[in-house]
C-alpha cells in the first residue's frame, strides 16, 4: 500500500461522531497522539481533571483508538474546529455506575474557553447519548472549584444534585434524565 493509499484509508476509517455549527467531534486518528498528549501539558487545562502521567495518557489514547473498532456510542473523541480543522480539545461519553447512565466529560484548549464551545459540545453529546434507547440519564462531575464547567453543564440542561465522592475526592454532580 502506498503512502497516499494509507492516508486515504485512515480518513475513510475515521468516524465522525457528530457535527455542530462550529465543531466536528470525531475519533482520533492514530497519528494524532501527540496532539492529544500536548493538550495535557497546560497546567490550567489540567487543573480540574484527573492527574495522569504521560504513560497513562498514552495508554488511554491507545485504548480509545482500539475501542473505536467495536464501540461508536461511547469513547474519547477529539473536538475540532469545523471551519479550519484545528484541535480544540477532547470529550467523552462513558458508562457511569449503572448501564443506563452515561457520563459526559471534556477538556479544552485554554484559548477556546469562554466562547460557548463547551456548551455547544455538551448539548450535542447529551442529545447523541439519548439516541441510545438504553440510556436513561446523562451525568457529569466537576471539581467543586470548577465553576465555569458547572455553568456549562447547567446551560446544557444538566441539574446539580448532591455531591458525590470519587477516588476520595468530593465532586459536584450533575444529571439530566431522558425526557
pLDDT digits (tens, 9 = 90+) for 12-26: 446 899 999 999 999
- Tell me if residue 137 falls in helix, strand or coil: strand
The domain made up of 3-177 has a fold known as Aminopeptidase (3.40.630)
**Over the stretch 96-119, which tens digit does the pLDDT of each residue have?**
987 789 999 999 999 999 999 999
Place of cell 457529569: 140
The three three-digit cell numbers of residue 84, written as one number: 479550519
Q: How many CB atoms lie within 10 A of CB 14?
A: 15
**pTM, full prediction:** 0.87
Residues 6+ apart with CB under 8 A from 88: 23, 79, 80, 81, 108, 109, 112, 117
The three three-digit cell numbers of residue 72, written as one number: 461508536
Contact between 153 and 120 under an 8 Å Cβ cutoff? The reply is no
Amino acid at each position: 500500500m502506498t503512502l497516499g493509499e494509507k492516508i486515504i484509508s485512515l480518513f475513510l476509517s475515521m468516524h465522525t461522531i457528530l457535527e455542530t455549527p462550529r465543531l466536528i467531534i470525531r475519533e482520533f486518528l492514530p497519528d494524532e497522539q501527540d496532539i492529544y498528549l500536548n493538550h495535557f501539558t497546560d497546567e490550567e487545562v489540567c487543573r480540574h481533571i484527573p492527574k495522569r502521567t504521560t504513560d497513562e495518557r498514552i495508554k488511554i489514547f491507545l485504548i480509545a483508538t482500539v475501542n473505536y473498532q467495536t464501540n461508536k456510542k461511547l469513547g474519547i473523541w477529539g473536538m475540532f474546529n469545523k471551519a479550519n480543522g484545528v484541535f480544540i480539545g477532547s470529550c467523552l461519553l462513558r458508562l457511569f455506575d449503572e448501564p443506563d447512565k452515561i457520563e459526559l466529560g471534556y477538556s479544552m484548549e485554554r484559548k477556546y474557553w469562554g466562547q460557548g464551545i463547551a456548551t455547544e459540545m455538551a448539548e450535542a453529546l447529551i442529545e447523541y447519548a439519548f439516541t441510545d434507547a438504553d440510556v436513561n440519564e446523562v451525568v457529569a462531575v466537576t471539581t467543586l472549584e470548577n465553576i465555569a464547567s458547572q455553568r456549562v453543564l447547567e446551560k446544557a440542561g444538566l441539574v446539580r444534585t448532591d455531591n458525590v465522592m470519587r477516588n476520595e475526592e468530593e465532586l459536584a454532580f450533575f444529571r439530566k434524565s431522558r425526557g
